Amino acid sequence: MQKFFFDMKDGISPTDRVGLEFMTNAGAIQHCRELARHIRECSLRDDQDFAISVVNGVGREVYREFVHR
């Protein structure tokens, strides 16, 4: 299992310090997509630059999902 962190790139939210464990990058990316979809459906914001960054355990970004694009 690898630990991944999901950082909200909105200039407001702090970085994810807890993270979640997934077997592969693909599992973490799928979780990110679901998280972005949930935020898109429930949010009143329409910030085009709002994104979720998936960062692996060594600090490298492996994926970025824009929420409102």
pLDDT at 34: 96
Kindly state the average pLDDT of the residues 22-38: 96
Question: In terms of residue numbers, what domain contains 20?
Answer: 2-66
- What total of structural domains would you count in the chain? 1
Per-residue confidence band for 14, with pLDDT thresholds at 50, 70 and 90: confident
Q: 18, 14, 24, 31: which is closest to 65 by C-alpha?
A: 31
> 34-69, pLDDT tens digit by residue?
999 998 888 777 777 889 999 999 999 999 999 987
pLDDT higher for 47 or 24? 24
Q: List the strands of the sheet with 51-56, edge to edge.
A: 20-22, 2-9, 51-56, 61-66
pLDDT at 43: 76
